[in-house]
Structure 1
Amino acid sequence: MNPKALTFDYFGTLVDVDRGGTLGMAEVLRRLSVETGDSAFDVYLDWDIRNVRLYRGQAYTRYRDVAQQALAAVLDARWPGARRGHALDALADVFLTHLVEASPAHADAVPFLDWAAARYPLMPVTNMDSDLWRRTQLTRYFEHVTTAEMAQAYKPSQAIFALALDRLALPAQDVLHCSLASWADIDGAKPLGMAVAWINRGADTLGTWQPRPDFEFDTLSPVRDVLESLSFTATGETR
């Protein structure tokens, strides 16, 4: 393997989406004047689970609409009537604005992207809508992106990965995919023949029946060592 391009899961792998999502949920609860002993982080995780179940369990609908449906579900389950008198689309916009704009880069992401951008084409493959992704913090590193909206399919569907490969104009074996989300990205990319570096930031465990990644690290930084080693093997000099 000697990759000619790198692809990434964006939210979680490159940015701390849990932080942005927690800030967004805290602002929603503030606007609803909800008083609760539940942490905004726990409510955000509840939303996240409902959101993923929804978009994996139905025909493609844009992310914004699924997120709004999941937000209504978590609020109604926990605080029935709390959103009465509030426009749901406005609440969802508040939440998503924080999720996409206030999710900061992980400490290792910027140094890695600074190094990689000078050497490889880089492309996120994300379940986010295209307009929402454009509002994130690291877009300067990417000339192109492949979104679920473009593919009309969410990861782990192979349709979104196939579209990314088509847009890169590269065969699967020439692309290394880096991702935090095992179920979405290892399960989606490996059957196409893509190599995967699992960035296992949370010390998660793979399911019994899941395919195994080619590499596993707790940050992006060791991926540089792998790429430099592969480049040296292929050319006799580091990139």
Structure 2
Amino acid sequence: MNPKALTFDYFGTLVDVDRGGTAGMAEVLRRLSVETGESAFDVYLDWDIRNVRLYRGQAYARYRDVAQQALAACLDARWPGARKGHAIDALTDTFLAHLVEASPAHADAEPFLDWAAARYPLMPITNMDSDLWRRTRLTHYFEHVTTAEMAQAYKPSQAIFALALDRLALDAADVLHCSLASWADIDGAKPLGMAVAWINRGADTLGTWQPRPDFEFDTLSPVRDVLESLPFTATGEAI
């Protein structure tokens, strides 16, 4: 392996999307005056599961529209009638604003990106609308991004990974993909021939039938060690 570019899952791998999503759900519940013994995180997790099931189980629709459908279903299942008098599109805007803008970088993300940006082209491959991604915190590290909106497909579809490779003008074997989400990124990238570093922040377990990543770490930091141990630079020049 001698990668000429690095690609990333963005939400979860580089930023703590659970924190942003939890803050967004807490604000939605506040606006609805919902009193509950459940944590905002648990409600956010319910939304997240519904959201992923929806975009994986139907023809492509914008992330914002899928998120809105999942939010309405989540709220109606838990608190029927609670959103009466509240526009669901406004609630969705509130929720997504927190999810994309208030998700902080993981502690290891910026040090790694500072190092990598001087050596490799970097590109996120994200299941997100393009305008929402542009509102996130780490966009200044990336000249280019490949979104589900651009590909009209969500990970693990190979369509989004193939588009990213086309935009990088590189073969799959020349790219190392770093990701937290095994089902979306290992399952999508490996069949194309991309090397994958699984950033397993939550000590998750792979399914029996899933392909295995080339590397598994609990943070991004060891990826730097792997890349620094290679005998060639990203441009293929001898060190």
Tell me if TM exceeds 0.5.
Answer: yes
Q: SS of the counterpart of 2:232?
A: helix
Separation in 1 of the partners of 2:231 and 2:111? 19
In structure 2, list runs of 5 or more residues that go unmatched.
none
Match in the other structure for 1:98: 98
Matched with 2:109 is 109
Displacement of 1:143 in angstroms is: 0.1
C-alpha contact 2:6 2:177 (8 A) present in aligned 1: yes
Q: Distance in 1 between matches of 2:159 and 2:72?
A: 29
Task: Tell me, in whole angstroms, the C-alpha distance in 1 between the residues paired with 2:139 and 2:231.
Answer: 26
Contact residue 180 and residue 198 of structure 2 kept, 8 A? yes
Structure 1's 237 and 153: CA in aligned 2 closer, same or farther, altered over 3 A? closer
C-alpha deviation, 1:211, in angstroms: 0.1
CA distance, structure 2, for counterparts of residue 24 and residue 145 of structure 1 = 24
Alpha-carbon spacing, 1:15–1:231, altered in 2? closer, same or farther (3 Å): farther
Write the distance in 2 (CA, Å) between the matches of 1:189 and 1:12.
Answer: 17
CA distance in 2 between counterparts of 1:88 and 1:132 reads 18
Greater mean deviation of Cα atoms: 41-50 or 229-238 = 229-238
Aligned counterparts of 1:232 and 1:167: Cα–Cα separation in 2:
23
Query: Over aligned residues, Cα RMSD in angstroms?
Result: 1.6
Whether the aligned pair in 1 keeps the contact of 2:176 and 2:196 (CA below 8 Å) is: yes
Whole-angstrom CA distance in 2 between matches of 1:238 and 1:110 = 27
C-alpha separation in 2, matches of 1:13 and 1:234: 22
Residues of 2 paired with 1:150 and 1:12: CA distance?
20
| Counterpart Cα distance in 2 of 1:191 and 1:235 | 25
Number of residue equivalences? 239
3-state SS of the aligned residue for 1:125? strand
TM score, norm. by length of structure 1 = 0.97
> What TM-score does the superposition give when structure 2 sets the normalisation length?
0.97
Deviation at 1:42, TM superposition (A): 0.1
Q: CA deviation at 1:231?
A: 3.9
8 Å contact from structure 1 (residues 16, 105) kept in 2? yes
The answer to whether the 8 A contact 1:229-1:238 is kept is: no
Q: Deviations along 1:88-114, whole A, 9 cap, x unmatched? A: 000000000000000000000000000
CA distance in 1, matches of 2:31, 2:209: 43
- Describe the shift of the 1:88–1:237 C-alpha distance in structure 2 as closer, same or farther (beyond 3 A): same
Report the equivalent of 2:79: 79
| Contact 1:7/1:175 (<8 A) preserved | yes
CA distance in 1 between counterparts of 2:51 and 2:238 reads 43
Distance change >3 Å, CA 238–CA 136, structure 1 → 2? farther
Quickly say closer, same or farther: Cα 1:129–1:235, change in 2 above 3 A.
closer
2:4–2:235 Cα contact (<8 Å) kept: no
Spell out, residue by residue over 1:147-187, the C-alpha distance to the aligned partner (whole angstroms, 9 max, x if none): 00000000000000000000000000000000000000000
- Deviation at residue 236 of structure 1 after TM alignment: 11
